[in-house]
Structure formats: structure tokens, C-alpha cells
Amino acid sequence: MQDDSKKSSVGHVATGLIHHPYKPPAEFDAPQPGVYKASTVYFPTVKDMRQREWKDKSAYTYGLHGTPTTYLLEERLCSLEGGLQCLLVPSGLAALALVALSVLHTGDEVLIPDNAYGPNKALAAGELQHFGITHRFYDPMDPDDLSRQISARTRLVWLEAPGSVSMEFPDLPEMVRRCRARGVLCALDNTWGAGLAFKPFDLLADGAGGEGSLFVDISAHALTKYPSGGGDVLMGSVITRDAALHLKIKLCHMRLGFGVAANDAETVLRSLSSIDLRYRAHDSTARALAAWWQGQPQCAQLLHPAFEGAPGHSHWRALCARIPGGGLAAGLFSVMIDARYSQAQVDAFCDSLKLFHIGYSWGGPVSLVVPYDIASMRQAWPDHLKPGTLVRFSTGLECPHDLILDLHQAAQAHLPWT
Ligand SMILES: *Cc1c(COP(=O)(O)O)cnc(C)c1O
């Protein structure tokens, strides 16, 4: 449905997302694509209805099977992440669920990093368990532990870089090699990297698909975060480079009826053009705040993968600094507040922040803060984490100096250092 004649030679992802091949309706060339809304799509004849095929996107048949608006967003997300096929789902969590339900059957096992996004673990302990699919958690920082846990029943390995809350950055290429060596599918939750910090389908940055290149089988992405950029829409994507795997996921997607609304797709399309700029701004603000925390006595440990000494920093550098113009790290980091402070003091610190709102999710313009109880989230307290209370910050697009003043006043009020 798209015009390939303009497949431009523009190299950078930001340019590519803006100068994307798109064929507007005749005589209506404008910056933004149209929003096509439909459940029903008309067929001129019954013969035409019988002949149209939605699976390869060669025709439109029903709103749930795709519209020009959703196809366009899928194409742009493929450009962003370096994949070939994309499916849209109603949330990031739905993307994780779709992957699991597509490839796992009764008797299979799925391996999940112990620092994974919490609801992915809950899905495994809930629905997957009910379907007779077992799960185990592996140490994200130990490829040997992953290898040890892969068994004849392992069908899928989840990867996340870095872990959602404790921010450890795994040796992603090595984890993928371990999966390849055992012939196990690997799926990455790529929400943090967003297609910008590293290339999930070209982990060695040597040109995707080339001999000896390394890539994940599946990239799942919560578009709710950086692609949406507004904190106002929920959506997810599942991207692949293998046509057979894509078809398997697509048929499951169809049977589950995971459609997305055209207006939501348009909201993401509108924001996607600025994702590279926003991501860099979130990143640089997060680093300014993290650097401030590093100088504070209340900070027992800084958990930001781009900082020397943070768990997995060398893995972050090896993967992300490889990207031309790269070394990016998103706008997310955590601080382990010294164990001398009670949970109540840390909660009061969070409550007294004026610019940071208390709220889940991230990727929008407003900075967010959430204290987490790591002990209840992990199998055991990891050796690489200092004792204390973890607070996660997601930086918005405010002026970093204002945010630092806010942290300062709240810390002075509720985290006295004597
Ligand atoms: C937010 C998030 C999700 C889920 O996205 P929703 O759209 O909120 O369902 C999945 N993985 C990670 C790492 C996330 O941060």
C-alpha cells in the first residue's frame, strides 16, 4: 500500500522516520498521513471479497486486519527497530502476552530474567501456569545461569536490557548467543532501548542480517513509552525479521482480536517523528540528575547503566556506544537510598517532590518517581545491589536544573544526613 519508489537513502533513524515513503491520496500531500477508521471495509464484489488476502498486507479486508493508518505505523516501527514485520497491540503488556501465547504450548517452559518487567512475571505465574506452561527466572547478569536453565522444554527466553527497576544491563549479545546455541527462541522487551540506544536486530552493529550478525528473534516494545511520548496512549508492537515466525504470531494476533484504534495509531505516528530528539533530551536530563545523586551522601548506589560502577555498565557501553552517534541511555534510573532511612522517610521524600509526579509508566513530558520494594520483587536480594530503599526516577522534558532543585528541597526536608 505504500509507495516504495521514494525509499530514500537517508541514513539516520530520525531522518528516516520523517522522510518515510508514504503515498497520500491524490492531490493531498501534507506532512501528516490520514487517519483511516473502519471496522467494515467494503468489497466491490463477492469475487473480490473472496480473493483479497490480508495476511501479506496485499489488501484490506477488515479493520481488525489492518488499515492504511496501522500499516503505516507498522512500517515506521520496522524502520525504527530494524525489523521486517510488525504487529500492533493495545498495550505493551499485550505485546508480551501475544509473544507468549503465540509460541508457547502446554508442557513448554519460558525463562524470564529475575529483574524483568513485573507484569511479565505475573503473566507467567498466572495465565501461562494455568495453561500448563511453566516458567523459571534466571540471573540476568550470568549467561552461565541462563545456559544451565535452558532445558529440552524451554521454548522461549525473555531478555530485557536493562531490567525495568534495578537497571542492571545484561550482556545481551552473549545471552542471544546462548539461546542460539540451544536453538531456543529469544524475545527482547525493547521498551528501554526503543530502537535508538541499540539495534535489536543488529546487536553487533555490522549491518543487519549479514553473515555472523547477531539479532533477537522478536522485539516487543511498549509504544506507550517513548514512541507515544505523551503519557496519553497505550499501545505495543511485536517486531520480527522472520516471515514464518511473524505469520505464526499474526495468526494468534488475529484469533485473539488484538486490534488498535486508528486515532491511537495516529497519536503514535505524530509523536514518532520526534522520538530521537526526545529520547536524547530524556537521556541527558537523567544523566544530569544521576550525576547530582552521585554527590549526595543519601545515595548508597546509583543504578544508571551509563555510569561507571553501575551493574552492567561495561555491557551497556559495549552494546550502545557501538551505534554511530550513540552511547544513548534513555531517561530512566534508580537510586538506592541509604539503609539508614525508613520506608516512611523515603515515601515522604517522594511525596514532597513538586515537579516529579508519583506514577507508573514513563516516556512522557512529566518526570515521575516511584519507590520500589526490591525484596518482594526478586527471588533473593542480588549481590550487586547495596542494601537500602530503591527509588526509580523517570525524567521528563523539564529543565534539569529545576528538577535538581526539587530533589534537593525534598532530600533536605525528609532525608537528613547527620
Ligand atoms: C510499560 C512497560 C511495559 C508495558 O507497557 P504498557 O503499555 O503499560 O502495558 C512492558 N515492558 C516494559 C519494560 C515497560 O516499561
Which protein residue's CA is at the shortest distance from atom 5 of ligand 1?
92
Rounded to whole angstroms, the Cα distance separating 53 from 36 reads: 19
Residues within a 6 A CB radius of ligand 1 = 91-93, 117, 164, 189, 191, 222, 224-225, 234, 236, 361
Which residues are CB-neighbours of 53 under 8 A, at least 6 positions away? 59, 61
For each of the chain's 418 residues, which pLDDT tens digit applies?
444 444 445 678 888 888 877 776 677 778 888 899 999 999 999 999 999 998 888 899 999 999 999 999 999 999 999 999 999 999 999 999 999 999 999 999 999 999 999 999 999 999 999 999 999 999 999 999 999 999 999 999 999 999 989 999 999 999 999 999 999 999 999 999 999 999 999 999 877 666 678 999 999 999 999 999 999 999 999 999 999 999 999 999 999 999 999 999 999 999 999 999 999 999 999 999 999 999 999 999 999 999 999 999 999 999 999 888 889 999 999 999 999 999 999 999 999 999 999 999 899 999 999 999 998 999 889 999 999 999 999 999 999 999 999 999 999 999 999 7
The atom of ligand 1 lying closest to the CA of 94 is 9
Testing ligand 1's pocket by substitution, the residue of 91, 96, 159, 224 carrying the most ligand atoms inside 8 A of its CB is: 224
User: What tens digit of pLDDT does each residue of 373-416 get?
Assistant: 998 999 889 999 999 999 999 999 999 999 999 999 999 999 99
> Distance from the CA of 96 to the center of ligand 1, in angstroms?
9
Q: So what's the pLDDT on residue 166?
A: 96
> Distance from the CA of 98 to the center of ligand 1, in angstroms?
13
Testing ligand 1's pocket by substitution, the residue of 98, 112, 121, 164 carrying the most ligand atoms inside 8 A of its CB is: 164
Which protein residue's CA is at the shortest distance from atom 4 of ligand 1?
92
Q: According to the 3-state scheme, what is the secondary structure of 223-249?
A: CCCCCCCCCCCCCEEEEECCHHHHHHH
User: What tens digit of pLDDT does each residue of 192-228 get?
Assistant: 999 999 999 999 987 766 667 899 999 999 999 999 9
Which protein residue's CA is at the shortest distance from atom 1 of ligand 1?
361
**Strand pairing report for 185-189 and 154-160:** parallel
The atom of ligand 1 lying closest to the CA of 191 is 13
Among the CATH numbers 3.20.20.140, 3.50.50.60, 3.90.1150.10, 3.90.230.10, which is that of 275-414?
3.90.1150.10
Which protein residue's CA is at the shortest distance from atom 10 of ligand 1?
92
> Distance from the CA of 94 to the center of ligand 1, in angstroms?
9
Is the separation of the CB atoms in 221 and 227 below 8 Å?
yes
> Distance from the CA of 23 to the center of ligand 1, in angstroms?
32
Domain spans, the chain: 46-272, 275-414
The atom of ligand 1 lying closest to the CA of 164 is 13
Q: Which of 254, 237, 269 is nearest to 82 (CA)?
A: 237
The atom of ligand 1 lying closest to the CA of 236 is 7
Cell matching residue 229: 511520548
Among the CATH numbers 3.40.640.10, 3.90.550.10, 3.40.50.150, 3.30.530.20, which is that of 46-272?
3.40.640.10
Q: So what's the pLDDT on residue 30?
A: 81
